[in-house]
Amino acid sequence: MDEKVTELLDLTKNLLDQSVEIVDNSLPSVESVDAKKVRYSIFLRVQMNEVLKFGYGAYYSCHHGWGHGGIGAARSIYEILLDIKYINQDKEERFTRFLDHGNEYLYHKIKRIRELGQVVSQKEQDKYTDKYDQLKKKYKNKHEQDVKLGIAKKDATPKHRPYNWAGLDLTEKVKEVNLEQFHQLYKDLANLSHVSISAMLDAISESTDEQFEVNLNIQPSYTHCLAVLMIIFTCISGVLEEYMAYFKIERSGYPILENLWKNYKELLNR
C-alpha cells in the first residue's frame, strides 16, 4: 500500500471519530424553539449524519483495499457539502426550495410505490397529494406574479420544479460556491463509477498495434483510494466546519482538528 494512503487512512479515521464526538456533544436539550430554526438545524444534523455514514463506509472500503467501493460514498459527501454551501448563501429562500423539492419527491415516490402494486394507506396518499397540490398552486402564483411585474416568462419563477430544486446543474452550482478547483477530482471519480473509457483504460496493462493485455482480476486494489480519501477528508472537514459554525461550537475545544488538517496538508505536499 502507498505510504500516503496508509497515513491518510489514519487521518480520516481520526477525523471521523472526532466528528462523531462533536455531534454527540452538541445534541440539544428538549426546549421550545422557533419552528424555522428547528427545520434548518434538523437538516444540518441529518446531513452531518449522512456524511459520517458515507465517510465510514468509504474508509472501511479503502482500509480493506477496495478503492472502488468508496467512490460512490465520496461523491455523495461532496454533493452534500455543495448543497449546504449553496443553501447557506441565501438560507431562507434556498432552504424553502429544498424542502419543497422534498415534498414533491415524496409525492412521486408514493405514486411509484402504488404503481408497483404496494399498498399505501389512504391517509398517506391524501397527505402527500395535498402537499403537492399546495406546491403547484404556490409556484403557479409566483410565476404569474413575476410575469405581472414585467419579468420575461423564461426568467420568471417556474410553475413547477420537477427534480432540480436549485434550478442549476452541478457545474453551475460549483461555480456559485467556489469549489471549482476541487471539482475535477469529483468528476474523475464520477467517470470511474460508470461504464466508461476510463474503466476500460484502467484494465489495459499493456497494448500494441496488434494486441491488448487486459487485467480483469477481481482482487483488492488500493488504486483510487488516495483520490477517494482526499475527497472524503476535505469534504467532511468542510461540512463539519459549517456544522460547528451554525451551532456555535468553539474549535478551541477540539485542538485535534487543527492538527489533523495541518498533517493532511503536509502529507499532500510531500
Cα–Cα distance, 87 to 101 (Å, whole number): 13
pLDDT at 78: 92
Q: 71 with 193: CB under 8 angstroms?
A: yes
Q: Model-level pTM greater than 0.85? A: no
- Look up the domain containing 127 and give its range: 3-269
Residues with Cβ within 8 Å of residue 75, at least 6 apart in sequence:
186, 189, 190, 193, 231
Q: Which three cell numbers stand for residue 103?
A: 415534498
First-last CA distance in the chain: 16
Domain count for the chain: 1
pLDDT in tens, 122-166: 888 888 888 888 888 888 888 889 889 898 887 887 776 555 788
Q: Which three cell numbers stand for residue 45?
A: 444534523
Nearest to 23 by CA among 236, 270, 264: 236
Q: 55 with 70: CB under 8 angstroms?
A: no
Residues of the chain whose pLDDT is less than 70? 1, 28-37, 160-163, 195-210, 215-221
Beta strands in the chain (DSSP E): 204-207, 212-214
